[in-house]
């Protein structure tokens, strides 16, 4: 059985203590900001009609819960984000693999990929609605357009920047391209893949919210848009706070996946 030395145990304790300190400091900063916001609102130093307040946001959440208007909006946004995130990851991984496998295809498609990625996706919203219809499919397609290109570019960049010396070494042992990909490129690119997934979560969520702002009748994006139409800032801030919480949870799940994979490597 492996035994840690006293110096190693002290080092591990120091790391845990530092992580705990960082976490507690983050919580403290959040509590201070929320308390200051509520205090300024109660003292009427800020206009709650324009800035809302934590107390009003909590009341709005309770009212939405009582009217059963809260969970349907959250669930539909999570559903659309999960679908677009999964599809973007799969499609992006397949296309990035094809680009790595065939350099000719990569060089031909690369300029078009750059142009499509640079296009403002909001401008394509009306076209997407006409093509697909004013439904959840158009929202998912909007999110796919935003996240898929980023996924392809990041994964492909990781694939082509893999250590050339290791590839030459494998080729010297008569390794096939399939062997190089599955035994070197893919395992060696895991940190980049996880990093891409983290970006993909936020990009998919951005795409879904953009789509919901344009066409949806349900979802957190719709909740925010409806709040702006009726000048209800409490509703807008509630939607934004819940959206931030959803984004944090989805990002945390990817981080948990990263830790699980790291332990198995």
Over residues 215-261, the pLDDT tens digits come to 878 899 999 999 988 888 999 999 999 999 999 999 889 888 888 87
CA angle 65, 70, 75 (to 5 degrees): 135
In a domain, 11, yes or no: no
Q: Which domain holds residue 103?
A: 63-264
R_g of the chain, CA atoms, integer Å: 23
23 shares a domain with 102? no
In a domain, 216, yes or no: yes
pLDDT at residue 32, as a whole number: 96
Q: What are phi and psi of 130, to 5 degrees?
A: -65, -40
**Do 26 and 86 fall into the same domain?**
no
Residue 99: both structure tokens together: 């680009």
Query: Residue 39 and residue 41: Cα distance in Å, rounded?
Result: 5
Q: Are residues 115 and 35 in the same domain?
A: no
Reading the block at residue 206, the tokens are 């951005």
Percent of the chain with pLDDT strictly greater than 90: 42
Per-residue pLDDT at 92: 93
Tell whether 29 and 121 lie within a shared domain: no
pLDDT tens digits along 20-65: 999 899 999 999 999 999 999 999 898 888 888 999 999 999 999 9
> What are the pLDDT digits (tens) for 62-81?
999 988 888 999 999 999 99
Is 9 among the domain residues? Answer: no
Q: Are residues 50 and 163 in the same domain?
A: no
Quote the pLDDT of residue 19: 86
Residues 210 and 156 in one domain: yes
Do residue 29 and residue 71 come from a single domain?
no
Dump pLDDT digits (tens) for 93-134. Answer: 999 999 999 989 999 998 888 888 888 877 787 888 888 888
Binned at pLDDT 50, 70 and 90, residue 4 comes out as low
Are residues 44 and 89 located together in one domain of the fold?
no
Q: Assess if residue 2 is contained within a domain.
A: no
């Amino acid at each position: 059985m492996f035994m840690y030395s006293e110096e190693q145990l002290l080092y591990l304790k120091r790391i845990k203590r530092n992580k705990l300190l960082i976490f507690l400091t983050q919580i403290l900063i959040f509590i201070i900001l929320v308390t200051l916001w509520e205090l300024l609102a109660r003292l009427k130093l800020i206009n709650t009609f324009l800035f809302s307040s934590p107390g009003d946001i909590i009341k709005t959440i309770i009212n939405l819960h009582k009217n059963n208007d809260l969970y349907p909006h959250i669930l539909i946004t999570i559903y659309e984000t999960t679908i677009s995130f999964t599809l973007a990851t799969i499609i992006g991984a397949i296309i990035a693999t094809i680009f790595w496998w065939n350099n000719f295809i990569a060089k031909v498609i690369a300029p078009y990929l750059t142009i499509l990625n640079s296009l403002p996706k909001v401008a394509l919203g009306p076209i997407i609605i006409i093509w697909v219809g004013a439904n959840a499919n158009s929202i998912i397609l909007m999110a796919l357009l935003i996240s898929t290109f980023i996924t392809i570019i990041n994964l492909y960049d990781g694939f082509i920047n893999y250590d050339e010396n290791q590839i030459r070494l494998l080729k010297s042992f008569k390794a096939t391209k399939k062997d190089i990909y599955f035994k070197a490129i893919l395992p060696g690119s895991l940190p980049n893949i996880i990093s891409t997934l983290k970006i993909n979560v936020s990009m998919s969520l951005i795409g879904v919210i953009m789509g919901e702002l344009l066409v949806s009748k349900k979802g957190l994006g719709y909740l925010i848009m409806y709040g702006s139409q009726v000048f209800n800032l409490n509703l807008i801030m509630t939607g934004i706070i819940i959206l931030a919480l959803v984004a944090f949870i989805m990002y945390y799940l990817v981080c948990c996946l990263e830790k699980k994979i790291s332990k198995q490597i």
